[in-house]
Each structure stands twice: as structure tokens, then as C-alpha cells.
Structure 1
Amino acid sequence: MNVETPQRSRNSEDLWLAAAYDLLTESGVEAVKIMPLARRVGLSRTGFYWHFKDRDALLEAMIRRWEEKNTGNLVDRCEAFAETICEAMFNLFDCWLDADLFDARLDLAIRNWARNDPALQTRLDSADARRRAAVTAMFTRFGYDSDQAEVRALSVLYTQIGYISMQVSEDPVARIARMPAYIEVFTGERPTQSDFERFNSRHPLPA
């Protein structure tokens, strides 16, 4: 086992978090333990304690990352400038295609973990409430009444949770091609070609 120097340790927090992410998403929270993490990153167990007081502190850091990334970015995309509800929905759909905005694997892992962790379930419920409020507010901003806005927001979110929970693997070209139809289902309005082209420009497919 390598002996970790203080300088190397200061630069390795992301390595520990990345390894913890891999174990969490592959095998669940019970697999996230210090010795398996040390083997993954090729550092000493001692190096772990440069960054984290204990395993609970590492888990807390992972939860905070999930809250800031998945829920924080979803809320931001709902609040982004848009001239129409269709453009606003495309802003939100950025989350479903860009893992830098929204990590579906992590969301599923957190939901599975929360089933046996009441404290985390409370935080998950709070995150879901923030997401619901943000999507509802997006609809009300474009003139939908409160009941319509809430039902449409729930339809959007429950559809995506279903995608995540079923671990749907879909050809990116086919998925993007369906998005105007999804938007019409969710909003009752058909997006314009220019709306779709602006969205496509943010998500270029590999040649």
C-alpha cells in the first residue's frame, strides 16, 4: 500500500469521492467502506482521514454533492430564461441529457439507499419537494392555473423517476427525436422547429 504524503492527500479528495461514487452506484451504500475505497484509489487508509473524519463524513459529502448537483441544477434549469413554456421545458430537459447537470445513476442510488435510512429519506423528500415546487412554478410562470401546473409538474417528474428506476437505456438519437412529442404531452403545446434546433445545438451527437 502506498504511503500518502500530506500534499498528495490534499489533492486526493476527489479521488476518494469518485471511488465512493463508483461503489455506491454499483453495489449500494453498504459497499462504501474505507478499506475497499483505499484499494480502489491506491492510497493508504490513513490518507482517507486527511479529508474525512470518518465514513459518515464521506457519506454526508456524497449526499451534499447529490443535493447540490441534481436538485440544485434542476431548479436552476427551471428558473432559466425562456420565452415560452416549450423553451422552458427544453431547458429542463437539458438535465436528462447532460450528466454534468443531473446524474441519473446517483439519483437512483440515493433513492435505493433512502429506503433503509429514515434520515436520508427525509432529505430525499425535501429534495423532491424542491423539484416539484420548481417545475410547478415554471408552469405557473407561463399562465397555467395552480392545479394544472402541479399535475403537469408531477407528470414530468414521475416520468423521469420512472426512467431512472427502470434504468432505461435508449439510443440518444431516438430519445432526442421524441422530445418535442414529450413536450407536447407535458405542456399541451407543440415546440417550434427553432426551439428544437436551439436545444439540439446544446447536445451535439457524436459523428
Structure 2
Amino acid sequence: MDTPDISRTRLREEDWLAAAYDVLTASGVEAVKVMPLAKRLGVSRTSFYWHFKDREELLEAMVRRWEDKNTGNLVARTEAYAESIAEALFNLFDCWIDPELFDARLDLAVRNWARTDTALQARLDAADIRREQAMTGMFLRFGYEQQDALVRAKAMIYTQIGYISMQVTESKRYRISLMPGYIEVFSGKPPATRDLDRFLARHR
């Protein structure tokens, strides 16, 4: 009779995903392998197969997490209730402050990974289109013309991708201090005091 792997009772699927995330964001997708992950977690390789069929299934789970977290949350923030374009943009800017809403390290890792994976590149392209459409729609709701809305959305997307690819390091306080200026740049009008106050209140 086989002895059960006691590591199965200690480790969850989430533990494997967390370990894979750490390796992916630090060293790239080529370093995400079952045996090194098992050693990192201090268990036998057998434990992995209680949760995933193979490495490809683990990688797929990570991609789905990226799609749900980064693109899903970003789209949701563009659709959140807002009384003005400034408030709508502040809702979106929550993503740039709260890593629980948007994980910049994961976004960079996926973009780097997609350079050598055509199937993933297609999913990344689809995600970028979805983000662009969501941001464009946000401007359209507040009366911007289609072309104007699209250009403003693209400006925001390219700015954020620049932040991510350059791995810009700023304190939360400093980044927040810049955001009223970004609101004016992206929308063409400064935020009202009440919009800024509501934004600052939830990030104190």
C-alpha cells in the first residue's frame, strides 16, 4: 500500500501559485519548473500533481489570474459610478496605487513572457484592446468625441505601460501627489476639490 504524501495536506493550490508567481516575476517563465518549485516549498514533486496536471496547467492558471486581476479589475474601475470624468479617472487610478487591484510586477512578467510565446501574445493583445475599449468608453460616457476619447485612452495606457516597463519606483505619497496633474493632462480639465477629497480619503 502506497504511503500518502503528507505534503498534500499542508500545501494548497494557492501555495504553488504563490511560489510560481515569485519565480516568474523575479526570473521569468523559463525558471518556473516543477522540481525547483517543490524544493522551494520543501515538499516532494508528487505534491504538485495533486493540484495540477502538469506545468502547462500551472502556467495557464497564472495567466488566468493575470487576466482576472489586472484586466478584470481595471475594466471594473472604469465602469464604477462617477459623477465626473475626474472622479472616473480617480477610480481608475486606484489600480495604480493598490496592488490588490492591479499587479504591475505580474503585468511586466507577462509582457516579457509573451515575447517568446505567440499564444500568450495574442491574449496580451486582446487584454490591451479590452483595456483600451474600457478607458475609451469611460471618456465617451462623459461626452468626449470618439477620436478624442480614443487618443486620451491610448495616452493613459502608454503612460502606464511606460511606468511598468521602466519599473518606476515612487512612494505612494509622491505618486498620489502627481495624480491631480495627471487628471488634467488626460481629461483636459482639473479635478474638482470634492473629487480630489474623496480620492484622498480612501488612500489615507
- The equivalent of 1:85 in structure 2 is 85
Deviating more after overlay: 55-64 vs 186-195: 186-195
Question: Is the CA contact (8 Å cut-off) linking 1:4 and 1:43 kept in structure 2?
Answer: no
Q: 1:160-206: per-residue Cα shift (whole Å, max 9, x none)?
A: 000000000012211111100000000001101221121112212xx
- The equivalent of 2:29 in structure 1 is 29
Alignment of 1:183-202 (within 5 A): 183-202=183-202
Q: 1:92-138: per-residue Cα shift (whole Å, max 9, x none)?
A: 00000000000000000000000000000000000000000000000
CA RMSD of aligned residues (A): 1.2
Deviation at 1:6, TM superposition (A): 4.1
- The equivalent of 1:15 in structure 2 is 15
CA distance 1:5–1:109, change in 2 (3 Å):
closer
Moved over 2 A (4+): 3-9
Q: Gaps spanning 5+ residues in structure 1: where?
A: none
- Give aligned-pair identity as a percent: 66
Q: Gaps spanning 5+ residues in structure 2: where?
A: none
- The equivalent of 1:103 in structure 2 is 103
Matched, 1:75 2:81: no
- The equivalent of 1:174 in structure 2 is 174
Question: Is the CA contact (8 Å cut-off) linking 2:87 and 2:195 kept in structure 1?
Answer: yes
Question: Is the CA contact (8 Å cut-off) linking 2:7 and 2:44 kept in structure 1?
Answer: no
- The equivalent of 1:58 in structure 2 is 58
Question: Is the CA contact (8 Å cut-off) linking 1:4 and 1:44 kept in structure 2?
Answer: no
Specify the SS of the correspondent of 1:82.
coil
Alignment of 1:82-161 (within 5 A): 82-161=82-161
Q: 1:127-166: per-residue Cα shift (whole Å, max 9, x none)?
A: 0000000000000000000000000000011000000000
Question: Is the CA contact (8 Å cut-off) linking 1:136 and 1:150 kept in structure 2?
Answer: yes
**TM-score normalised over the length of structure 1:** 0.94
**TM-score normalised over the length of structure 2:** 0.96
Question: Is the CA contact (8 Å cut-off) linking 1:4 and 1:46 kept in structure 2?
Answer: no
Q: 1:2-23: per-residue Cα shift (whole Å, max 9, x none)?
A: x4354334xx111100000000
Specify the SS of the correspondent of 1:49.
helix
Deviation at 1:28, TM superposition (A): 0.2
- The equivalent of 2:48 in structure 1 is 48
Amino acid at match of 1:79: E
CA distance 1:6–1:25, change in 2 (3 Å):
closer
